[in-house]
Structure 1
Amino acid sequence: MAMGNVGCSGGCSGKTDYPEWASEELKKKTEEHPCYTADGHKNARMHIPVAPKCNIQCNYCNRLYDCVNESRPGVTSGILTPEAAAKKYSIVKEKIENLKVVGIAGPGDALANFEETKKSIELIKEKDPDVIICLSTNGLMLPDYAEEIIALGINHVTVTLNSIDPKIGAKIYEFVNYKGKILRGEEGARVLQENQLKGIEYLTKNGVLCKINIVLVKGVNDHHIPEVVKKVRELGAFMTNIMPLIPAAGTVFENMPLVSKKELNELRNKCSITMKQMYHCQQCRADAIGQLTQDRSLEFRGTGEEKFEEKEERDLLVAVASKDRKLIDQHFGQVDRFHIYKYSKDGIEFMEEREIEKYCTGIESCDDKDSKIEKVIKTLGDCKMVLSVRIGYGPKQMLRSNNIYTYELYDTIEDGINTAFKKING
C-alpha cells in the first residue's frame, strides 16, 4: 500500500492509505464522494431505489414503503424502474448542480436485483459519463457479480459485514436465501461470511475501493467489531463505517438497547488505530437525495416512482386466502388453495384457484416449513400481493424478499383488494 492521506476534517480518522494502484482520477472521485471522505460533504448524492428484493433477512431490518417521516436504510417512498431512475436523475441533476454520486442501496439488495441495478447504471452513465456510481450490498452474491461490477466501471462498493464468526452471525441473521436455498443459523451465517470476504478481497485486488458498513448491536457483536475491522483491513478494504443499530418496529431487534454516541465513538476511535473510520454517516434512506445533512428526497417524491395503478400495460395478480370466494377469512398457514384475482384499471376479476400444501398443519408437520414456503413462493411467484386474515412474521418476510407484498385484513374480497392497494400506494 502506498502511503497517502485523504482529507478527513471532523468526519473520519485513522489510517487513510490509498492502495498503490489508485490513480489520481480515482483519488479525486473519492475526495468528492460524501460517504468516503467528510471533505466531500458539500457534494450531493442520489440514491435510486431500484432494488426491492433481498436475499437475506437481518434481525434489524424492516423494509418499509411510503414512510416519508422515517430516515434509515431500507425505507423508500416508492420503487423506480431503471428507465424511471434515469429520467429522475436528469430532473434532479438540473436542480442540484453539485450532484456527484448515484448510489444503489436498496431498499433490498443491489445484487439480488442485478439486472435492474445494471440497467440503471448503464442508462444513467449514458446521460452523465462523469457521475460517480456507488453500490451497496450485503455481499452474499459478490463472488458471482464482482467481475460485472468491475466491468460497469464501479469504483466504490459498500459491503455490510456485521460478523466474521458464524456463531455471532447466527444471532444477527434470521435466514440467508442463497440461490433459492434457505439457510438458517450458523450455516447461513457461514455462507454469507465466506462470500462477503471472498468478494471484498476480489474487488480490492481489482481496483475497487471498498467501504465496510458494520451495524453495532449492543450485546451481540459490539465486542467482536475490532476483529472484523482487522480482518477487512487485511483484505484491502479502504475504510469501515461502524453504525448504531436503529431498532425498527416489527423486527426481532425492535427492543434491543440503543448505543450512545459516546459508546459508538469510543469504538470508532479504538478501531481507527487499525484503519480509516467514518464518523459522519447519516444512515440514509434508500431514496435519499442531496447532501448528507440535508435530505431533499421529499422535494422529488413521486418523480418516476412505480405505483400499482399506473402499470396499465400489464395486469396485477392477487392471491386471496378465502374459504368460499366471498370473504378474506383464512390464516395464511391454513390455506390449501389460493384464489387468484386480476387487479387492473378495468376492475377486479377472478382468474383461477391454485392448490398448495398447507404451510403448517400442526407441530409434527412444521419441521419442513422452509421447503413448504419455497413451494408457496413458486406457486405465487407471478402475484404482486397475498391477502389473508393473518400471516406469521417468517413467511411474511420470505414473501417480501421475493417482491410479493402481504396484507392482513378481514373483509369482502373486492373491498379487501381495493383497500390493500390503496394502503400500499399511500
Structure 2
Amino acid sequence: MRPELRRHPCLDAGSHNKYGRIHLPVSPICNIQCKFCRRCFNKWEERPGVTRKILSPKEALTIVDRALELCPQITVVGIAGPGDSLASNHAIDTFRVVHEKYPELIKCLSTNGLMLPDRAKDLVEVGVSTLTVTVNAVDADILSNICTHIVWDGKVNYGKEAALRLLASQTRGIWEAHKRGIFVKINTVLIPGINDEHVGDVARTVAGLGASKINIIPLIPQFEMADIEAPDCAMLNKAREDAEQYLEVFRHCTHCRADACGIPGSNEDLADRLYEQRIETFSHG
C-alpha cells in the first residue's frame, strides 16, 4: 500500500480509529437499481444511501471547511452517494474545488462502475487517488438477481442485458482506474442464497483487473430484499476466507452514511454539529 494511504481509515485497519473522513452528499441520482438499495433523507439511519440533504459543490466546500475545524484529524474527503457518484457531474465538480483548496487531503470516490470507463481520466484530473467500486457478482445470471435495471444511453435495461452491460463497464473501468494509478477497493454486498458462494470468484476476477482490497458487507435486509435474512457470522467469515485467497480483506466497515463525518469507530459522528448551521439547500430543478 502506498504510504499516504496509511492515513485512510477505510483502507488501512490501523488508521480506522486514528484518522477521520468526511462524506459529501452531492450525488442526487443513480443509474442502476439494486434490490437491496433504498435511498432516503433522514438523520437517524446508519447505512449507505442516507443523508440529511444534497449539497452543491460550493456548499460542499463550505462543509469541508467546517469539518476540518471540528475534526483536524480528517485526512479523507469521500463522495459515496446518496446516488451514484458518476451518474452526474456533481462529484467531479466537487472534487475539483476541494482539491484546489485542499490538495493534501486524500480524495476518495465510490461508484457502481457503470460510468467509470468514461470518467477514470477525469477522476485523476480532480485529485482522486482512491476508488471503491461495488461489484456484487461477476456472473450475469447472479447479478441479474441483485440488480433490477440500469439506465444506459438514455434507456432502461433490465435483467441479464442490464447485468452484462454493468459487468462490461465495471471490468473496463476498474482496469482503466488501476492503470492510471488509482488505488481500487471493491465492495461486495453479501446476500445469502444469491452470491454467498460467489465471493471468491468476485475477488479473483477483480484482483486480475488491478483491485488491491475487498470489503465484504453483510446485507441490510430492506426494499426488495427485506425478506432475506442478513448473513450470519459463519457465512461472513467463509466469504472473507474465500476472498482472502486473492485479495486483502478489509474488516472494519461501519456502514457509513452518505453524510458521515469524523473518525470511524469512534462514538461520535460529527455530522449533526456539522449541519446544525443552516446552509442553502441544493435544488435539482
TM-score between both structures, scaled by the size of structure 1: 0.64
RCO higher in structure (CA 8 A, sep ≥6): 2
The residue number in structure 1 matching 2:162 is 188
How far residue 28 of structure 1 moved from its aligned partner, in angstroms, is 2.1
Q: Deviations over 1:43-63 (max 9, x none)?
A: 000000000100000000010
The residue number in structure 2 matching 1:62 is 38
Question: How far apart are the structure 1 equivalents of 2:155 and 2:197?
Answer: 31
- Name the % identity: 39
Counterpart selection for 2:101 from 116, 124, 127: 127
Paired amino acid for 2:198: H
Q: Does 2:84 align with 1:109?
A: yes
How far residue 262 of structure 1 moved from its aligned partner, in angstroms, is 3.0
The residue number in structure 2 matching 1:285 is 257
How far residue 303 of structure 1 moved from its aligned partner, in angstroms, is 4.5
Q: How does 1:17-416 map to 2 (within 5 A)?
A: 18=1, 27-41=2-16, 42-65=18-41, 67-114=42-89, 116-248=90-222, 251-294=223-266, 295-303=269-277, 305-307=279-281
Does the aligned pair in 2 maintain the 1:88–1:304 contact within 8 Å?
no
Length, aligned pairs only: 282
Question: How far apart are the structure 2 equivalents of 1:307 and 1:125?
Answer: 22
Paired amino acid for 1:131: L
How far residue 296 of structure 1 moved from its aligned partner, in angstroms, is 2.0
Secondary structure of 1:49's counterpart equals coil
How far residue 306 of structure 1 moved from its aligned partner, in angstroms, is 4.7
Secondary structure of 2:187's counterpart equals strand
How far residue 179 of structure 1 moved from its aligned partner, in angstroms, is 2.2
Question: How far apart are the structure 2 equivalents of 1:46 and 1:302?
Answer: 16
Does the aligned pair in 2 maintain the 1:87–1:304 contact within 8 Å?
no
Q: Deviations over 1:144-202 (max 9, x none)?
A: 11111122221100000101111111100111001211000000011001100100011
Q: Deviations over 1:202-250 (max 9, x none)?
A: 11112111000000110011111110100011111010111000112xx
Mark the CA change 1:302 to 1:214 in structure 2 (over 3 Å): closer, same or farther.
same
Does the aligned pair in 1 maintain the 2:132–2:185 contact within 8 Å?
yes
Question: How far apart are the structure 2 equivalents of 1:305 and 1:244?
Answer: 34
How far residue 299 of structure 1 moved from its aligned partner, in angstroms, is 2.0
Does the aligned pair in 1 maintain the 2:27–2:81 contact within 8 Å?
yes
Could you list the runs of 5+ residues in structure 1 that have no partner in the other structure?
1-17, 19-26, 312-381, 385-426
How far residue 266 of structure 1 moved from its aligned partner, in angstroms, is 2.6
Does the aligned pair in 2 maintain the 1:78–1:305 contact within 8 Å?
no
Secondary structure of 2:148's counterpart equals strand
Question: How far apart are the structure 1 equivalents of 2:277 and 2:192?
Answer: 38
Secondary structure of 1:155's counterpart equals strand
Where has structure 1 moved over 2 Å in runs of 4 or more? Answer: 301-308
Paired amino acid for 1:252: E
Does the aligned pair in 1 maintain the 2:27–2:82 contact within 8 Å?
yes
Secondary structure of 2:215's counterpart equals strand
Mark the CA change 1:180 to 1:306 in structure 2 (over 3 Å): closer, same or farther.
farther
Question: How far apart are the structure 2 equivalents of 1:302 and 1:192?
Answer: 39
Does the aligned pair in 2 maintain the 1:81–1:306 contact within 8 Å?
no
Paired amino acid for 1:273: Q
How far residue 273 of structure 1 moved from its aligned partner, in angstroms, is 2.2
TM-score between both structures, scaled by the size of structure 2: 0.95
Mark the CA change 1:242 to 1:305 in structure 2 (over 3 Å): closer, same or farther.
farther
Does the aligned pair in 2 maintain the 1:47–1:288 contact within 8 Å?
yes
Query: If you compute each CA radius of gyration, which structure gives the higher value, 1 or 2?
Result: 1
Question: How far apart are the structure 1 equivalents of 2:202 and 2:242?
Answer: 13
How far residue 261 of structure 1 moved from its aligned partner, in angstroms, is 2.5
Q: Deviations over 1:260-307 (max 9, x none)?
A: 123212321232122100100111000000011132212223446554
